[in-house]
Amino acid sequence: MENAQAAGGESIPELAGASLTEAERRGLPGRNRAVLITSVQESSPAYRHGLRGGDLIIAVNQRRVTSLPGLAKALRASGRVQLQVLRGDVVLNIPIK
């Protein structure tokens, strides 16, 4: 998989190996304003950065992200990127470039 595969056809090269969808499409109560990582291929760039299936991307460089287009736009606009990811009840800061 060359680029991240996002529902709706969005391509996000920085997250190669991850499948993404908007959390609200999955009906996640209380957590529907985020981008859900549905799966991550082992040994992919996304996996090496520490991302895992089930993670919720809630912010890029501490700016809230609520949609796939918003995530793609934030990643394009940023040089150094740190994702804020909700894994269970823990918020992780994960640098990806």
d(CA 3, CA 76): 14
4-90 CATH fold: Pdz3 Domain (2.30.42)
Convert the pLDDT of each residue in 45-94 to its tens digit. 899 999 999 999 999 999 999 888 888 888 887 678 899 999 998 999 99
Task: Provide DSSP, 22-77.
Answer: EGGGGT-TT--SSEEEEEE-TTSHHHHHT--TT-EEEEETTEE--SHHHHHHHHHH
Which pLDDT value is given to residue 1?
35
Backbone angles phi, psi at 93, to 5 degrees: -105, 115
Which pLDDT value is given to residue 25?
57
Convert the pLDDT of each residue in 6-59 to its tens digit. 545 556 777 888 888 877 655 555 555 789 999 999 989 899 999 999 999 999
Which pLDDT value is given to residue 64?
92
Q: Which two tokens stand for residue 89?
A: 């009840």
